[in-house]
Amino acid sequence: MIARGCRLIAIACAAVCVAGCDWMPGRPTQAEMPLRPSAITDFARLYGENCAGCHGVDGKLGPAIALNNPVYLAIVDDAAMHRVIADGTAGTAMPPFAGAQGGNLTDQQIDIVVAGIRKQWSGDKSVGAGAPPYSSNSPGDSNRGGQVYAANCASCHGADGKAGNAGSIADASFLALVSNQNLRTIVIAGRPDFGHPDWKSYSARQALTAQQVSDVVAWIAAKRPASMLSALSAAQH
């Protein structure tokens, strides 16, 4: 009896070893294969390692603009996103990520990040329908912008932008750290993650027009102290 039991156990062991070892939990999986940093093509990993620090774990609730925002993704095109990731935005805290600019990502990886952001977070496309364009060449009129501000923004940021529940947007240091494009993007796309409205849901209950957006950005930008203005434009070439 005992001998037969031993034999059975031995046969079972042998069978497990020959056929079963490849099923063992310790066997390395393809996912554990070490990759060169330039060969990483998984969006989640690229985003997590390079973007999540500022733009938030799920593309939102980070200090920098939310990428998980259908309005933002509706107005920005792939080329613009690729350009910003690759070259950064001089004068602001968006660093360049392209290898040619001293960053760590390849062109292909930047494309993967752009495509991944769009695929993951575009959401309901109709939300962004009719939004003012991402960028505009027509300079805004800051006088008219002041009226737009009073009607739409002052309730949170205070009259003249100096205070209010949501804090000042006229602070000289703040304005020295953001580009006009930053301001424009926030005005149009908002920060839904922190309750900042987008272009069609400001307190005037009427969607801002493209011109109104340019105007209010011009009004805010005009509050930037002259010394910082020159420093910023120097940084932006």
- For binding to another protein (CB under 8 A), which residues are involved? 21-22, 24-28, 30, 33-37, 48-54, 56-57, 61-64, 93, 95, 102, 104, 166-169, 171-174, 176-178, 194, 228, 231
CB of 208 to another protein, least distance (A): 19
d(CA 87, CA 181): 15
**Which residue's CB is nearer to another protein, number 77 or number 193?**
193
Closest CA to 110 of 120, 99, 119: 99
Give least dist CB 227 to another protein, A.
10
Distance CA 124, CA 126 (A): 6
Indicate the residue among 204 and 231 with the shorter CB distance to another protein: 231
Nearest approach in angstroms of CB 228 to another protein is: 7
For 88, 94, 101, the CA distances from 82, given in Å and listed in that order, are 10, 13, 13
Q: Which is nearer to another protein, 95 or 123 (CB)?
A: 95
Nearer to another protein, 59 or 70 (CB): 59
Say how far apart CA 82 and CA 63 lie, in whole Å.
20
Single-letter residue type at 205: R
